[in-house]
């Protein structure tokens, strides 16, 4: 179980790092900024997308640090759920997989929860 937890933790952190650095901070996926523009307005989209990217990278580093992992995991699940609900209702046409984004987001939320609350070795839960 420990190895499964480590691998899954690495994959979860990688998702946050790729989305934060590549997609948002560096801006290689303009669709992300377009979604923010649609949800929060064009005036704030550019600075906010970078801030969101920094927050995602911070979340990944925090997660990998092991500090307050349960709090971090709950925050991840809430963030992904909130972002996807907003995107689904306000910018569905900009989503990479349309309706399927909600399914992939739910799977990611489930994996984060399972990794922290079920797979994680009990000795590490302090």
Q: What's the predicted TM-score (pTM) here?
A: 0.89
Closest C-alpha among 114, 124, 123, 81 to residue 8: 114
Domain coordinates of the chain in residue numbers? 2-119
H or E segment and range at residue 102: helix 100-114
Those residues whose C-beta lies under 8 Å from the C-beta of residue 85, and which sit 6 or more positions away, are: none
Are 12 and 111 within 8 A, CB to CB? yes
The confidence band for 120, taking pLDDT boundaries of 50, 70 and 90, is confident
Tell me the percentage of the chain whose pLDDT exceeds 90: 90
pLDDT the model gives residue 2? 86
Closest C-alpha among 125, 89, 115, 121 to residue 9: 115
Token pair, residue 6, equals 């480590």
Those residues whose C-beta lies under 8 Å from the C-beta of residue 47, and which sit 6 or more positions away, are: none
pLDDT tens digits, one per residue of 8-33? 999 999 999 999 999 999 999 999 99
Angle at 54 between CA 34 and CA 98, to 5 degrees: 35
Token pair, residue 116, equals 């922290």
pLDDT tens digits, one per residue of 47-73? 999 999 999 999 999 999 999 999 999
């Amino acid at each position: 179980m420990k190895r499964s937890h480590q691998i899954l933790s690495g994959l979860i952190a990688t998702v946050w790092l790729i989305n934060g650095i590549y997609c948002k901070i560096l801006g290689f996926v303009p669709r992300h900024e377009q979604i923010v523009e649609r949800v929060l307005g064009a005036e704030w989209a550019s600075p906010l997308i970078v801030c969101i990217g920094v927050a995602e990278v911070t979340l990944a580093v925090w997660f990998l640090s092991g500090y307050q992992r349960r709090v971090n995991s709950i925050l991840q699940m809430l963030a992904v759920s909130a972002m996807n609900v907003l995107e689904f209702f306000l910018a569905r046409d900009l989503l990479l997989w349309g309706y399927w984004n909600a399914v992939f987001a739910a799977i990611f939320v489930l994996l984060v929860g399972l990794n922290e609350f079920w797979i994680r070795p009990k000795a590490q839960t302090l």
